[in-house]
């Protein structure tokens, strides 16, 4: 589960071939980002954001943008500055970032992680500060303005030793997985995504279960479904909704909203982190779409403080996603549940207007459900955390009927 206050811009992604060796060839990576994924054209304003630890790749991207005839602009962050803003700035001075205005006039945003060690940066922060940041961001309404822009772009996960250490993962294996995830077969992912998208576009009821106790149903609402297949095509670049003009790498997932008042049942989330701290044993009930009786066995105090500072009525079910990337691997007991991992299911409550939903507000929670089974109108598309081809599932269902 992720606190959206902590999320960097989830707008955009990149396409590149990858291996641990290739992952260090920043010039080659930059060519893929700028020319293949973003398709930068002469004269375009390209904003490049990231942290100090990502500077070598940021620089390579800026150079490649210039070679393509674009106008590169870099916006650099550091952990020390991020901590000063997040924790040390007087609470009375918290207001919407004026630097967001440049986003509305840019042609392309290429974003890398702005913080290397989130746990250290946010140590000592309070739920009150987080709630205020969320409130001023929502009031600024930048997200709601993005659909009307021409912005497109890419966002890349940059392997961090601090992140791997905080999650108790072997860094070398984690780094190799990230580069492999970035370089996976996105053509195959795209085919699979379109099959699932068609099923969800015409489906009515989704049922999610898991061995840990999740048993949740909700209704689809003929809303837009978004596909992140790691590639921004020429057609994607002309889409009206910003989320159709964005990808993130490692990419590979399909996501969208549901009928907000339809969620019914129980959700048991996989272990995760909250503000860099362990967050485990989370359970919640949904009735009429409203999240109730939400409680965690570990990390509940911070969560309850955060929940109390936000309008509980806004915490309606409103978002779900299914991961499609076969190279990304879940390490559930270590709290590592990447949304793009093939078969990974994510359910969100709270604001979903950017995805075309009706839940207002700029905050919410994302809850990972590992080893889930997902049915759409009785047709299985994920079984025990493994993707099932809609075509295969349909054939199997037909076969069973013939045997009766």
- What is the per-residue pLDDT across 329-363, written as a single tens digit (0 to 9) for each? 999 989 999 999 999 999 999 988 888 888 887 78
d(CA 303, CA 295): 8
pLDDT of residue 390: 64
Per-residue pLDDT of the chain in tens (404 residues, 90 and over written 9): 433 333 333 333 333 333 333 446 889 888 888 988 888 999 999 999 999 999 999 999 999 999 999 999 999 999 999 999 989 999 889 887 777 778 889 999 999 999 999 889 988 888 888 888 878 877 777 777 888 999 998 988 999 999 999 899 999 999 999 988 988 898 899 999 999 999 999 999 999 999 999 999 999 988 889 999 988 889 999 999 999 999 888 999 999 999 999 999 999 999 998 877 899 999 999 999 999 999 999 999 989 988 888 877 678 998 999 999 999 999 998 999 999 999 999 999 998 888 888 888 778 899 999 999 999 999 999 999 999 976 544 544 444 433 33
Q: How far apart are the first and last CA of the chain?
A: 43
pLDDT of residue 20: 36
d(CA 80, CA 394): 53
Tokens at 296, concatenated: 């965690």
Count of Cβ atoms closer than 10 Å to residue 40 Cβ: 27
CB 197 within 8 A of CB 370: no
| H runs (alpha helix) in 53-185 | 55-67, 79-83, 101-105, 118-122, 127-140, 142-146, 161-166, 171-182
d(CA 37, CA 156): 11
d(CA 64, CA 28): 10
pTM score:
0.85
d(CA 268, CA 214): 5
Which residue has 């990230």 as its token pair?
178
Packing angle of the helix pair 186-202, 390-403 (nearest 10 deg): 50
Strands (E), 41-164: 45-51, 71-77, 108-111, 152-156
- Cα 157 to chain centroid distance, Å, stands at 11
- Report which of 158, 153, 268 is spatially closest to residue 212, judged by C-alpha positions: 268
d(CA 146, CA 345): 27
pLDDT of residue 83: 95
d(CA 158, CA 177): 11
pLDDT of residue 393: 45
- Report which of 383, 270, 386 is spatially closest to residue 333, judged by C-alpha positions: 270
Distances (CA, A) of 324 to 35, 271, 278, 334: 24, 21, 26, 21
């Amino acid at each position: 589960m992720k606190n959206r206050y902590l999320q960097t811009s989830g707008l955009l992604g990149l396409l590149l071939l990858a291996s641990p060796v290739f992952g260090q060839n920043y010039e080659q990576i930059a060519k893929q980002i700028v020319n293949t994924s973003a398709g930068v054209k002469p004269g375009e304003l390209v904003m490049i954001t990231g942290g100090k630890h990502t500077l070598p790749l940021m620089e390579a991207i800026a150079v490649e943008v210039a070679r393509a005839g674009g106008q590169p602009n870099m916006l650099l962050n550091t952990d020390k500055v991020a901590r000063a803003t997040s924790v040390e700035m007087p609470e009375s001075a918290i207001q919407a970032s004026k630097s967001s205005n440049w986003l509305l006039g840019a042609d392309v945003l290429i974003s890398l992680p702005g913080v290397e060690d989130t746990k250290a940066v946010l140590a000592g922060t309070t739920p009150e500060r987080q709630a205020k940041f969320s409130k001023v961001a929502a009031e600024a309404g930048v997200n709601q303005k993005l659909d009307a822009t021409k912005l497109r772009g890419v966002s890349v996960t940059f392997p961090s030793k601090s992140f791997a250490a905080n999650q108790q993962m072997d860094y070398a294996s984690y780094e190799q997985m990230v580069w492999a995830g970035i370089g996976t077969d996105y053509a195959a992912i795209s085919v699979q995504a379109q099959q699932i998208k068609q099923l969800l576009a015409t489906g009515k009821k989704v049922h999610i279960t898991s061995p840990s106790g999740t048993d949740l149903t909700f209704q689809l609402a003929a809303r837009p479904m978004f596909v992140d297949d790691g590639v921004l095509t020429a057609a994607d670049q002309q889409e009206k909704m910003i989320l159709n003009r964005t990808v993130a790498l490692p990419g590979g997932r399909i996501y969208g909203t549901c009928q907000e008042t339809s969620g019914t049942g129980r959700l048991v989330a996989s272990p995760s982190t909250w503000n860099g701290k362990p967050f485990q044993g989370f359970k919640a009930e949904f009735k009429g779409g409203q999240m109730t009786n939400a409680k965690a066995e570990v990390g509940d105090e911070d969560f309850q403080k955060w929940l109390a500072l936000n309008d509980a009525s806004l915490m309606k079910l409103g978002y779900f996603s299914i991961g499609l990337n076969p190279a990304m691997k879940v390490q559930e007991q270590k709290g590592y549940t990447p949304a793009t991992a093939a078969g990974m299911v994510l359910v969100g409550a709270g604001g979903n207007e950017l995805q075309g939903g009706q839940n207002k507000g700029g905050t919410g929670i994302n809850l990972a459900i590992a080893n889930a089974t997902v049915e759409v109108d009785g047709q299985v598309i994920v079984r025990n955390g493994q993707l099932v081809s809609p075509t295969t599932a349909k054939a199997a269902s037909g076969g069973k009927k013939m045997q009766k």
